[in-house]
Amino acid sequence: MPIRILNENISGLIAAGEVVERPASIIKELLENSIDAHATSITITIKNGGIDYIRVTDNGLGIPHDQVPLAFQRFATSKISTSSDLDAISTLGFRGEALPSIAAVSHMEMTTREPDTNYATQIILEGGIAAELKKAGAPNGTTIIVQKLFHNVPVRRKFLRSSATEASHIQTLVTRYSLAYPEIQFQLENGKKNFSTNGDGDIIGTIAKIYNVDIANQLLSISERSEGPLGEVIISGVTCPPHISRSNKQHITLFVNRRWVRDQSLSFAVEQAYQGFLMNRRHPIAIVNLQLPPDQIDVNTHPSKTEIRIRNKNHVFAALQRSIRQALTAKSPIPPMSQSKEAYSQRTERLIDYKNPFWTVEPFKSDRDRPDAGKNYVGGNDTFVGFKEKLPLLRVLGQIQSTYIVTEGPDGLYLIDQHAAHERVIFEEIRSADSSNSSGKQALMEPIIIEMTESQEEILSEHASLLESVGLLVEPFGGNSYIIRSIPKIMLEADPETTIFEILDEISLGGNIKNWRDRTYYTIACHSAIRAGKSLTHKEMELLVRSLEQCDHPHNCPHGRPTMIQLSISKLEREFGRR
Ligand code: ADP
Ligand code: MG
């Protein structure tokens, strides 16, 4: 076949293929246009998962009558004009491709009216060609109706899934935009299934509609402003306390300049911040916006604009990780014994700024600016008990099942899991001993000889110095035999052979050096900590509780399990009918 230039009809269909994959991608483009047009209320109606019918109505700025046909031309946009504009994009759209692409594969109608005019303009397009243009009556703003999707691209239509699946993609999408723009009122009408937000700027209210009130009220607020080499990074949002987690990563929602982005490394930064707080295979709920100077990001990398490039990414990664870690360590609560809604939400209420519009909250410049800074919330009538960096002073009462230590604190009863608590204590001890290079090691009177596989030998030789730094000295002893000459003092009660093999296993799972170290510490802590089932003297319990009080993060063991739970006085009073 000779080479020839494709006619506009086919090239339009090809271009549309990139932007319009399914009903949700159409709604994404229409929502972005409405947001760019400063709408404060957007209503989306769908039928049959959006396959048969989509309508998006906004109360935004509208399009002037004479420019309406132009909006459906390829590369027609009001958002950028010069190539330098591409370097600092501040609108969601800029490619000038969405309207013509959607029109090319559907039957499309638009009615639009600028606030200052007394009539609206209606345009009807069939397969991308304008069939009708007339004046009409309509309220301010823009309404777009898309029907007969993919009627002229049967192959695409075949790829569509069931209407329920398509509807759930749309639901997820609208949810994301409503989180990024809590000041806009969103309504999704899908037959009997409706979703709506108030548009009052209250992110917690929006989250409550998506998850539930209880979860929304327990989330911890994040705010951080940091000055990087190339500009300012402002991070704001919410993240979950460790006792609320999910089994998959879908609940990490990230926005960059309020654009939802898919970015593995930023999600990883969030996960990393939870290291030591969450158990294996548990993932956080986090909703975070990163506000970056527009010239620090490149949005023009993919037609759907959900993948972006960030200059100076390391700085952004570190700032994100730090902000979440800070929220966690400063406010991570001791889980209450039963998550009674009222009691718990009361405690969390004031940690989150309900009144301020979410993304515009002024971040605290330092921890000292936080409203809760410097307060010690321990005390009989302080609703904040449970949120503090340090443990309250605890009086040991006794032990249950040779496993749990019963203590009394300023607000009721605190039950401590002795193994988890000791793990935390050892983990922090060994980590600080290592960093100050004064770790105590203990030579073994009778050195232990162990056999290693080839891969274990490899890992050992690669990480011998890490092991030595914590006091574990393992030397070759001919063939594949090795001799353990010394162990960390802390490990005196542990089984060195099992511990070493587990450390090698942990290391082989991969990760960065920080991880190897922490994993080594975890393993040592886990094997050295007193077991559940060991009865302790009062003195031993005292000692453990005092050491836990000294820890930086006393509320969780290094694996993320809680070290203690609390039964508050008010709960006791309620349970006994005193209140
Ligand atoms: P882009 O958003 O990349 O500019 P589109 O094809 O999505 O390209 O839209 C083309 C133009 O039509 C926009 O630049 C904007 O001026 C106008 N437009 C589209 N939708 C709306 C709307 N809902 N309200 C006001 N103007 C709109
Ligand atoms: Mg657009």
Indicate whether 283 pLDDT > 70: yes
Among 36, 38, 123, 302, name the best residue to mutate to test ligand 1's pocket (greatest count of ligand atoms within 8 A of Cβ).
Answer: 36
- Cα of 385 vs centre of ligand 1, distance in Å, is 51
Residue 398 contacts by C-beta under 8 Å, 6 or more apart in sequence?
Answer: 405, 406
Q: Do 341 and 218 have their domain in common?
A: yes
- Tell me: pLDDT of 293 over 70: yes
Q: Write down the pLDDT at residue 434.
A: 61
Residues 365 and 395 in one domain: no
Structure tokens at 238: 């919410």
pTM of the model: 0.66
Q: Determine, yes or no, domain membership for 535.
A: yes
Minimum-distance ligand 1 atom for the alpha carbon of 58: 23
* Angle in degrees, 0-180, between the axes of helices 513-528 and 418-435, rounded to the nearest 10: 130
Structure confidence at residue 514 as a pLDDT band (50, 70, 90): low
Is 392 or 47 the better-scoring residue by pLDDT? 47
Q: Are 405 and 418 in contact (CB under 8 A)?
A: yes
pLDDT > 70: percent of the chain: 87
Asked which of 371, 386, 401 is the last residue of a domain, the reply is 386
Task: Tell how far the Cα of 98 is from the centroid of ligand 2, in angstroms.
Answer: 5
Considering only CA atoms, which of 79, 295, 56, 72 is closest in space to residue 177? 56
Classify residue 96: in a domain, yes or no.
Answer: yes
Ligand 2 centre to CA of 230 (Å) is 29
State pLDDT tens for residues 403-421: 999 999 888 899 999 999 9
Does residue 1 lie within any of the structural domains? no
* 354, 335: one domain: yes
Closest by CA position to 428, among listed 271, 276, 318: 276
Can you tell me the mean pLDDT for 280-301? 90
Asked whether residue 472 is domain-assigned, the answer is yes
Q: Identify whether residues 247 and 309 lie together within a single domain.
A: yes
Q: pLDDT tens digits, residue range 116-134?
A: 899 999 999 998 899 999 9
Query: How many angstroms separate the alpha carbon of residue 34 from the centre of ligand 1?
Result: 8
Could you tell me if 481 and 364 lie in one domain?
Answer: no
Burial (Cβ within 10 Å: 0-12, 13-18, ≥19) of residue 370:
middle
Read off the CATH number of the domain in which 178 is found: 3.30.565.10
72-81, 174-183, 508-517, 524-533 — which one is most confidently predicted on average?
174-183
8-65 pLDDT, tens per residue? 888 888 878 778 989 999 999 999 999 999 999 999 999 999 999 999 999 999 999 9
Q: Determine the pLDDT at residue 510.
A: 56
- Strand locations in 381-523, DSSP E? 395-400, 404-409, 412-417, 441-451, 473-476, 481-488
Distance, CA of 138 to chain centre: 41
Tell me what pLDDT residue 342 has.
37
Ligand nearest the Cα of residue 85 is 1
pLDDT at 386: 33
- Separation between Cα atoms, residue 354 and residue 101, nearest integer Å: 40
Last residue of a domain, one of 143, 178, 199: 199
Residues in the chain: 579
Q: What are the backbone angles phi and psi of residue 71, rounded to the nearest 5°?
A: -60, -20
Task: Identify the residue with better confidence: 375 or 191.
Answer: 191
Report the alpha-carbon distance of residue 498 to residue 468 in Å, rounded.
Answer: 17
Q: How far is the CA of 71 from the centre of ligand 1 (A)?
A: 6
Mean pLDDT of the chain: 83
391 pLDDT higher than 70: yes
Q: What is the CATH number of the domain that holds 255?
A: 3.30.230.10
Shared domain check, 439 and 314: no
Q: What is the mean pLDDT of residues 328-338?
A: 69
Q: What is the pLDDT of residues 352-383, one digit of tens each?
A: 333 333 333 222 233 333 333 333 322 222 82
Please identify, by atom number, the ligand 1 atom nearest to the C-alpha of residue 141. 24
Per-residue pLDDT at 579: 78
Distance CA 323, CA 320 (A): 5
- Residue 216 and residue 197 in contact, taking contact as beta carbons nearer than 8 Å: no
Task: Say whether both 329 and 412 belong to one domain.
Answer: no
Q: Which of 370, 386, 402 is the last residue of a domain?
A: 386
The whole-number average pLDDT for the span 427-449 is 76
Domain membership of residue 3 (yes or no) is: no
Is 164 a residue whose pLDDT tops 60?
Answer: yes
Residue 228 near residue 312 (C-beta atoms within 8 A):
yes
The domain in which residue 572 lies consists of 390-579
Select the more confidently predicted residue: 433 or 51.
51
Q: Is there a single domain that holds both residue 290 and residue 365?
A: yes
Residue 2 domain-assigned (yes or no): no
CA distance 563 to 561: 6
> Same domain for 565 and 459?
yes
Is the pLDDT at 446 greater than 90, yes or no? no
Q: What is the domain-level CATH number for residue 555?
A: 3.30.1540.20
Query: Which of ligand 1's atoms lies nearest the C-alpha of 29?
Result: 7
Q: Which residue has the higher pLDDT, 495 or 238?
A: 238
| 516 alpha carbon – ligand 1 mean position (Å) | 50
Domain count, the chain: 3
Using CA positions, which residue lies closest to atom 20 of ligand 1?
Answer: 33
Same domain, 256 and 150: no
State phi, psi for 510 to the nearest 5 degrees: 90, -175
312: left (phi over 0), alpha (psi -120 to 50) or beta: left
- Residue 384: pLDDT band (50, 70, 90) is very low
Instruction: Write out pLDDT tens, residues 228-265.
Output: 777 889 999 999 988 888 888 889 999 999 999 989 88
For residue 546, tell me if it sits in a domain.
Answer: yes
Please check whether residue 93 is in contact with residue 29, taking contact to mean a CB–CB distance below 8 angstroms: yes
- Beta pairing partners, 291: 234
Asked if residue 136 and residue 13 are part of one domain, the reply reads: yes
CB-based pocket (< 6 A), ligand 1: 29, 33-34, 37, 58, 60-63, 71, 76-79, 93-99, 142
- The protein residues having their C-beta less than 5 angstroms from ligand 2 (an ion) are 33, 93, 98
> Where do the H-state alpha helices sit in 185-312?
203-210, 213-218, 264-273
pLDDT of 227: 82
pLDDT in tens, 137-147: 999 999 999 99
- What pLDDT does 229 receive? 73
**Which numbered ligand comes closest to the C-alpha of 103?**
1
Examine the domain organization and report whether 214 and 276 are in the same domain: yes
User: Would 277 be classed as within a structural domain?
Assistant: yes
